[in-house]
Chain A
Amino acid sequence: MKKILFLMITAVFIFSGLTAGPAMAADTVKIGLMCPITGAWASEGQDMKQIVELLAGQVNDQGGLLGKKVEIVVGDDGGDPRTAALAAQRLATQDVVAVIGTYGSSVTEASQNIYAATNTIQIANGSTAVRLTEKGLKYFFRTCPRDDEQGRVAVKTIMEKGFKNIAILHDNTTYAKGLADEAHGLLKKEAVNIVFFDAITPGEQDYTTILTKLKSKNPDGVFFTGYYPEAGMMLRQKKEMGWDVPFIGGDATNNPDLVNIAGKESAAGFMFLSPPVPQDLPSKEAAEFLAAYREKYGTTPGSIWAVLAGDGFRVIAKAIAATGSTKNDKIADYLHNDLEAYPGLTGTISFNDKGDRVGDVYRVYKVDEAGKFVLQN
């Protein structure tokens, strides 16, 4: 008898829990954030979370959206495609209006189809691989530029430097290989020799083998399309070998940790392509945002990619407010067609039919003797 009573009470609790869930969900506007809270890119992901939560807090202080509070639902993708697929499945079934994220292209790619299957709007913030927006996905957007754009700027920079023998190095991730292929294709049309084109293994400490091999090919310049930890290690070990070939990096080397890892002396002279770093952001919105961030967290955001997640949040919030709706079709239509030159944190934002951000974003940076990133031209 006792057992049956216990079962009944449990059943009542479970049922009330089930019915209360959706009822509570209707009281808030849920926006998903998929980011690498753990894993190799955890510092990016934690920045993303801090920024989006800061912006959501600001919106809530001003009365929220459509009269409701905004709730950020965070899913940890671990910087890993498999974990991302799980995170995406969880987020997609939680009634979110849209999902912001994520950072790495291969990670975003693993989640794209899951969001597409549930018609969830996704706004990636750091995934620059070209093919992500070439799949005709109606609900996919990104606030970052594409690699072909970056490839063009890279080749322009390399040609301006007057390098004749160029080495290209990537790390076999979707992003780095895409950018390397892009630059490779464009450089072939120019009057230069590509003396080296190969991939390193990311996550290692010792790149002297690669550097020794590179050095024997005698390039005038090296274009490395991978991420900042490896770039930092290579700069440091290159210096140790007494080799002073100029290195140019892609936008994934844009992180202050690069200088910490390499040391100021080794990092000096390193050039990289990137959307403007947070401190160089030109707009009034950016200045206000940086002030608010500093007040809440005591530092400035580490890299631009997390700020681009903030822009993802802002365009969603803008679209919900402007359409007065949380319907995915209305929001997607608005983002594709009606959002014109919206003042984002990283400059003006509008999207084309593919969901790509329109406009010229890339700049060239150089690391100076003090380890500061200095905007060139």
Chain B
Amino acid sequence: MEIFFTQLTNGLAVGGIYALIALGYTMVYGVLKLINFAHGDLFTIGTYLGLSLLTSLAITDKLGPVAGVILLAVMVMCLVGIVGILLDRVAYKPLRTSPRLSAVVSALGASIVFSNAIMLVYGPSTKVYPHDILTTRVLDIFGLPVPVMRLVILLTSIVLMIALYGFIQKTKIGTAIRAAAIDQDAARLMGINVDRVIMLVFFIGPALGGAAGLMVGLYYGQIKFTMGWIYGLKAFTAAILGGIGNIPGAMVGGLLLGVIESLGAAYISLAWKDAIAFVVLILILIVRPTGLLGERVAEKI
């Protein structure tokens, strides 16, 4: 039983990160019906920018770990958000009226450009975050050893997700985003600046990806320019699992994928971990083709 709960917390911590990245896929898909395959690489950019800022500005030495990491997170999110907007301008906006497949190909191209650009700037070898910033304390919850940082990661992911959900549901701008997601032309007729909405979506999605990147860098320590691909794939799966285009769906999908992977590896087979996760995905899609929480019958790629 102890092992079960340990594995469950292992899965939830990974799932929180998947969920955070999945939000970026889902937001862009919701508004543009485009799978932004470069999203995983925006996540990688977040990890690398975090490392650069951390080592060059020494924020955590000056402000202490908590305030330092928060400031760092804000800076990384803004920068990655701006990269996201630039990505949209360069790779997607010129293709807005072309067939959807062109934009997908453009996204794959952007992904390759990003990961190789990171390699050229930072070099191909593994980079390592400083080890001593975060606490390595282990809490004892009902006899279960739970590292504090795993809890922090999970909570941060959930807080960011709830904040986003509130923003989309409760604010005027959020309403505009939802309107643009339903029907862009109608939204335009209602006086919504759809281009501005798309720009905002390309800021928020990558910014959350960047935040996830920073968390992965800070916690796991090891970053590599190729890491975005595997995270991107998992998060994409999570988004589909929860119902792409749906924000609570991305959260549920991400957490669920993490837990399925972890328990599948623990109780069935390690080597078949990914296969198990994808079998579950297929089963869910057979029963609910729009994903767990997906409502609209969306056209999928």
Q: Which residues of A contact B (CB under 8 A)?
A: 38-40, 42-43, 45-46, 172, 198-201, 203-206, 208-210, 212-213, 216, 229, 232-233, 236, 240-242, 257, 260-261, 263, 302
Identify the closest chain A residue to B150 (Cβ): A208
Assess whether B14 is in contact with A40, with CB atoms less than 8 Å apart.
Answer: no
Interface hits, B217-239 → A, CB 8 Å: 220-222, 224, 226-227, 230
Q: How far is the CA of A15 from the CA of B106 in the complex (A)?
A: 36
Knowing A201-B274, A241-B145 are in contact, say whether A39-B6 is a contact too (CB < 8 A).
Answer: no
Identify the closest chain B residue to A172 (Cβ): B271
Q: List 6 A-B contacts (CB under 8 A).
A: A43-B125, A205-B220, A206-B10, A209-B11, A210-B270, A263-B221
Assess whether B227 is in contact with A205, with CB atoms less than 8 Å apart.
Answer: yes
Identify the closest chain B residue to A211 (Cβ): B10
Assess whether A39 is in contact with B10, with CB atoms less than 8 Å apart.
Answer: no
Assess whether A257 is in contact with B226, with CB atoms less than 8 Å apart.
Answer: no
Q: How far is the CA of A38 from the CA of B147 in the complex (A)?
A: 35
Residues 87-116 of B, flagged 1 when their CB comes within 8 A of A and 0 if not, give 000000000000000000000000000001
What 9 additional pairs, Cβ within 8 angstroms, besides A40-B224, A233-B222? A172-B271, A203-B227, A205-B220, A209-B11, A210-B270, A213-B7, A236-B221, A240-B147, A263-B131
Contacts of B261 in A (CB 8 A): 209
Q: How far is the CA of A285 from the CA of B160 in the complex (A)?
A: 58
Assess whether B222 is in contact with A198, with CB atoms less than 8 Å apart.
Answer: no
Query: Is B13 interfacial (CB 8 A cutoff)?
Result: yes
Assess whether A212 is in contact with B125, with CB atoms less than 8 Å apart.
Answer: no
Give chain B nearest CB distance to A255 CB in angstroms.
9
Q: How many A-B residue pairs have CB under 8 A?
A: 88
B221 CB contact (under 8 Å) in A172, A241, A261: A261
Assess whether B266 is in contact with A261, with CB atoms less than 8 Å apart.
Answer: no
Q: How far is the CA of A232 from the CA of B221 in the complex (A)?
A: 10
Identify the closest chain B residue to A216 (Cβ): B3
Contacts of B274 in A (CB 8 A): 201
How extensive is the interface on chain B, given as a class? 35 or more
Query: Is B178 interfacial (CB 8 A cutoff)?
Result: no
Residues 114-158 of B, flagged 1 when their CB comes within 8 A of A and 0 if not, give 001001000111101001000010100000010100000000000
Give chain A nearest CB distance to B7 CB in angstroms.
6
Identify the closest chain B residue to A233 (Cβ): B222
Give chain A nearest CB distance to B17 CB in angstroms.
8
Q: How far is the CA of A42 from the CA of B125 in the complex (A)?
A: 7
Q: How far is the CA of A206 from the CA of B136 in the complex (A)?
A: 16
Knowing A172-B271, A199-B271 are in contact, say whether A42-B128 is a contact too (CB < 8 A).
Answer: no
Assess whether A242 is in contact with B124, with CB atoms less than 8 Å apart.
Answer: no
Assess whether A203 is in contact with B221, with CB atoms less than 8 Å apart.
Answer: no
Assess whether B224 is in contact with A38, with CB atoms less than 8 Å apart.
Answer: no
Residues 259-275 of B, flagged 1 when their CB comes within 8 A of A and 0 if not, give 00110011001110110
Most buried by B among A45, A172, A200, A208: A208
Q: How far is the CA of A39 from the CA of B115 in the complex (A)?
A: 9
Identify the closest chain A residue to B136 (Cβ): A240
Assess whether B147 is in contact with A232, with CB atoms less than 8 Å apart.
Answer: no
Assess whether B220 is in contact with A206, with CB atoms less than 8 Å apart.
Answer: yes
Assess whether A203 is in contact with B220, with CB atoms less than 8 Å apart.
Answer: no
The 8 lowest CB-CB distance pairs between A and B, nearest first, are A42-B124, A199-B271, A43-B125, A198-B270, A205-B220, A261-B222, A260-B128, A208-B10
B126 CB contact (under 8 Å) in A46, A201, A260: A260
Identify the closest chain B residue to A45 (Cβ): B124
Identify the closest chain B residue to A264 (Cβ): B131
Contacts of B266 in A (CB 8 A): 209, 212-213
Query: Is B216 interfacial (CB 8 A cutoff)?
Result: yes
Assess whether A209 is in contact with B265, with CB atoms less than 8 Å apart.
Answer: yes
Assess whether A257 is in contact with B270, with CB atoms less than 8 Å apart.
Answer: no
Q: How far is the CA of A260 from the CA of B227 in the complex (A)?
A: 17
A206 CB contact (under 8 Å) in B14, B116, B126: B14
Q: How far is the CA of A229 from the CA of B227 in the complex (A)?
A: 11
Identify the closest chain A residue to B261 (Cβ): A209
Q: How far is the CA of A204 from the CA of B18 in the complex (A)?
A: 12
Q: How far is the CA of A39 from the CA of B265 in the complex (A)?
A: 27
Contacts of B221 in A (CB 8 A): 236, 261, 263
A229 CB contact (under 8 Å) in B14, B119, B222, B270: B222
A261 CB contact (under 8 Å) in B128, B145, B269: B128
Identify the closest chain A residue to B127 (Cβ): A260
Assess whether A38 is in contact with B265, with CB atoms less than 8 Å apart.
Answer: no
Give chain A nearest CB distance to B240 CB in angstroms.
19
Contacts of B270 in A (CB 8 A): 198-200, 210, 213
Identify the closest chain A residue to B220 (Cβ): A205
Most buried by B among A43, A46, A212: A212
Contacts of A257 in B (CB 8 A): 125-126, 128
Assess whether A209 is in contact with B124, with CB atoms less than 8 Å apart.
Answer: no
Contacts of A260 in B (CB 8 A): 126, 128
Contacts of A201 in B (CB 8 A): 271, 273-274
A212 CB contact (under 8 Å) in B6, B123, B271: B6
Assess whether B222 is in contact with A205, with CB atoms less than 8 Å apart.
Answer: yes
